[in-house]
Amino acid sequence: MIGAGIPLMLGMGVGLIAWWALSPRWANRRWNSPLSDLLSDAGMAHVTSRRLIGLTLALAVTSGLLVYVMSASLAVAVAMAAMVSPLPTGWVRHVKRRRQTELRQVWPDAIEHLASGIRAGLALPEAVSQLRESGPEELRPAFTSFFVAYRATGRFSESLDVLKHSLADPVGDRVVETLRLAREVGGSDLGRLLRTLATFLRDDARVRGELESRQSWTVNAARLAVVAPWVLLLLLGTRPAAVAAYNSSAGVVVLAFGAVVSLLAYRLMMRIGRLPTESRVLR
């Protein structure tokens, strides 16, 4: 009865977590938290932090349930659930880095288009709005949102806030605040400033791309070093002798110690090999 009851309770837990995360009354509620900022920077502002937390819990419980059914070891199941729980947040961080890399590649062209429009005599709102058609594909939705907001309100500063929220990018924050300052105080050097910024961003993207290609082996080695022992544990979980050993007090201590060491070592390796990233100080 106990052996059959534990999977049933875990299954009920998965259902309750999914209901809680996907409930409509939570769908429109967002927390102003680092997790919400992470989702926004990854271009996933439509996903609430509650949904991500619910997905994390559901994934941990589901994986623990599957491992428990396969190995009949509660200690191994809990250890595997703890190891897979950071995966959703890690995937969001990966999407954020990939998105920032893509935007870093296209921002120089967008800024040069903007500078050309200003040099051609267009008003600043018109020069920004034209990027919804002439700008890079990755940035056109954000500039379309600016165009819609400006056409509806006629307020340039508020429309820039909409653009900044849509971009959710450090470079975009700098460009938006530069445009806001130029609109408020004026000046004839905006075009030259934008072209200088485009040159700087293009050089930075080239150097960063070379460094990232050289450090890719370090990142892959760190991931392999963390995953390999737990794949081995999953295979050992099919053997009754190994399951009996891990169900003992000493086995639980070994699993807990291994999980802590694996997570700390992975974080340390990633921190050592990580390139400096620009934060959104002008959020």
pLDDT tens sequence across 6-21: 555 555 555 555 555 4
140 Cβ neighbours under 8 A, 6+ residues apart:
131, 132, 133
Q: Token pair of 86, please? A: 């950071």
Q: Token pair of 48, please? A: 């609430």
User: Strand, helix or coil at 86?
Assistant: coil
Q: In 10 A of CB 250, how many CB atoms?
A: 9
pTM for this one? Answer: 0.71
What distances in angstroms separate CA 217 from CA 64, 149, 195, 220, one per listed residue? 31, 45, 35, 5
Q: Among 25, 27, 6, 280, which Cα is nearest to 167's?
A: 280
244 Cβ neighbours under 8 A, 6+ residues apart:
none
pLDDT at 265: 81
Q: In 10 A of CB 232, how many CB atoms?
A: 10
What distances in angstroms separate CA 86 from CA 55, 165, 265, one per listed residue? 11, 27, 14
Q: What is the pLDDT of residues 74-132, one digit of tens each?
A: 888 888 888 888 888 888 988 888 888 888 888 888 888 888 888 888 888 888 888 88
pLDDT at 148: 92
Query: Using a CB cutoff of 8 Å and minimum separation of 24, what contacts does 87-93 make?
Result: 87/56, 87/59, 88/52, 88/55, 88/56, 88/59, 89/35, 89/38, 89/52, 89/56, 92/38, 92/39, 92/42, 92/44, 92/52, 93/38, 93/42
Query: What's the mean pLDDT when you consider all of the chain?
Result: 79
Residue 163 and residue 176 in contact, taking contact as beta carbons nearer than 8 Å: yes
Q: Among 61, 65, 57, 62, which Cα is nearest to 3's?
A: 65
**Can you tell me the distance from the alpha carbon of 53 to that of 60, in angstroms, rounded to the nearest whole number?**
11
Splitting the chain (283 residues) into consecutive groups of 10 residues, what average pLDDT does each group show? 51 56 45 73 81 88 86 82 86 87 86 86 86 88 91 88 87 84 72 82 83 75 80 81 81 85 80 70 62
Burial, 151: exposed, middle or buried (Cβ in 10 Å; 0-12, 13-18, 19+)? Answer: exposed
**Can you tell me the distance from the alpha carbon of 106 to that of 281, in angstroms, rounded to the nearest whole number?**
21
pLDDT at 186: 65
Q: Supply the Cα-derived Rg of the chain in whole angstroms.
A: 25
